[in-house]
Amino acid sequence: MQPSLVRRVLAEFVGTFGFLFLGFAGLAAAVTHPGSITGGGIAAGFGLGLAMMIFAFGHISGGHFNPAVTLGLAVGRRFPWAELAGYWLAQLVGGIAAALAIRAIYGDLGDSLVNAPGRNVSSSEAVVLEIVATFLFLIVISAVATDERAAWHGILAPVAIGGFIFTAATVIGPITGGSFNPARSLAPAIVAGSYADVWIYIVGPLVGGALGGLFYSYIRISGTAAEVQEEPLLDDAD
């Protein structure tokens, strides 16, 4: 593995750990200290946690911290396919480490960190919502993180990306569990040994991410008439 790729993979591992640790900590507080945190606070933990980790590591790895984001950017020709497996592994291991850390601090929380559809929400409804939300998420990311024409391109990109997750977790979270990220769902499911609905949060985000990356790639090329080549989200010098 190239030294630059090692650094990016390590950044993805630590960034995913930090992002999910903050989000899981909010869920754990809600379970162990009822009334200490609201649904909005939990959404803020995920949204602001993601923004902070992108500020910290976005210039190193691109700040994906989500297999659906990495897939969507690869499909959209903004990330090299050869590095996808390494990023996915780092993201999943980072998520597992975050779930294990929360378990070590708060004790066995059962499946409290595991996503599940809300009451009277069918699997089909949940997976469609996860697809649509992740589709929109990839459009936001592709715009503010990879397209210089976007108003918030560059330094404010983490604000827009984290803000999307906060908004989506607030309005969709009560219905689907608000994943939009296979690592966020699969990691605590592995730790808890609870896999009943995990397919929703793997299939939905990956399909939505791929479609979002493909869609933005199409409108980017149509809008600029420029050839888009495969490249990492952010440049990294050896």
pLDDT by residue (tens digit) across 29-58?
Answer: 999 999 999 999 999 999 999 999 999 999
The CA distance from 57 to 8, in Å, is: 9
Q: Say whether pLDDT at 149 is over 90.
A: no
Question: Max Cα separation, the chain?
Answer: 55
Taking alpha carbons only, the member of 142, 145, 120 closest to residue 55 is 145
Domain over 3-224 is classified CATH 1.20.1080.10: yes
Residue keyed to tokens 């850390």:
101
Which tokens hold the place of 17? 């750990």
User: How large is the average pLDDT for residues 106-134?
Assistant: 96
pLDDT tens by residue, 184-206: 999 999 999 999 999 999 999 99
Question: Are 183 and 67 in contact, with CB atoms under 8 Å apart?
Answer: yes
How far, in Å, are 106, 179, 235 from residue 60 at the CA level? 32, 25, 8
